[in-house]
Amino acid sequence: GGAKKGRGIMHVAALVGSYLLFIILFVVCVSWLWPDFVDAAEHRQVRSIMLTLLAVQVCAEALVWYFGVYKTWVFICVLLCDGWGMLDAILRFPVVHDICSFFGLKQIGMMVMKLVAFSLGFWNIGRNLGWFILLVLCCDVSLPILWLTALPIGEDGGSHMKHDAVDIDIAVRIWRLASRPPERAAAVLRCRLRARQGVVGLAKVCPALKGAVVRLDPSLARVLRGAPEI
């Protein structure tokens, strides 16, 4: 009896602590740091941060699935919603779409679908309601809020403002890559370029890696010596 009571107290303490941590991070990051960063950063930098956060979210969702918190079919639905929903929204940032457009309705549908999947497949939701709500807040609500607050809604230019995003549905882009060899080749070249830029950036942050980078790709030696970035 005493051991069971002790486990119950630890469970409640862990849940309360997790909520406090979430609230602190949400208030500090979303209400304070994020708006300042969005105002000062370029669109590609904002996209990069959101893509990183999405990757962290997917890893967390995979970890939750691995420990059996929800069923495999739920995880498949979650990946679909993350890919066709949030990933598509981030790649098209900062384009603003009408809420009644296909894009807007799709985003709402993906969030609802993810919530329903969590609700139907969450392990023993009646006894773990607190953890279920925390999962929804972390994995179905937080990133869309960051994306919405970063959009230039109401700013001069609106959806017609200058940007470097490709405003095409990710499903259409994947189909074109699969069916059109020229676009596939161009996409491969862009990925290689970004990979090289990432390696150069990493080597500049960590100079100890410069030797390994140059051995891997000797053409980057000039860039790492201070020449303009590729």
Contact 68, 123 (CB under 8 A): yes
Asked if the bond preceding 94 is cis, omega within 30° of 0, the reply is yes
Model pTM score: 0.78
Structure tokens that stand for 81 in this block: 């919603």
Structure tokens that stand for 134 in this block: 């925390």
| 37/3: higher pLDDT | 37
Mean pLDDT of 93-112: 94
Q: Is the model's pLDDT at 2 over the cut of 70?
A: no
- Of the ranges 30-39, 69-78, 142-151, 156-165, which one carries the lowest mean pLDDT score? 156-165
pLDDT in tens, 60-94: 999 999 998 999 999 999 999 999 999 999 999 99
What gap in Å lies between CA 129 and CA 117, rounded to an integer? 15
Provide DSSP, 169-226. Answer: -HHHHHHHHHH-HHHHHHHHHHHHHHHHHHHHHHHHHSGGGHHHHHHH-GGGHHHHTT
What whole-number percentage of the chain has pLDDT above 90? 54
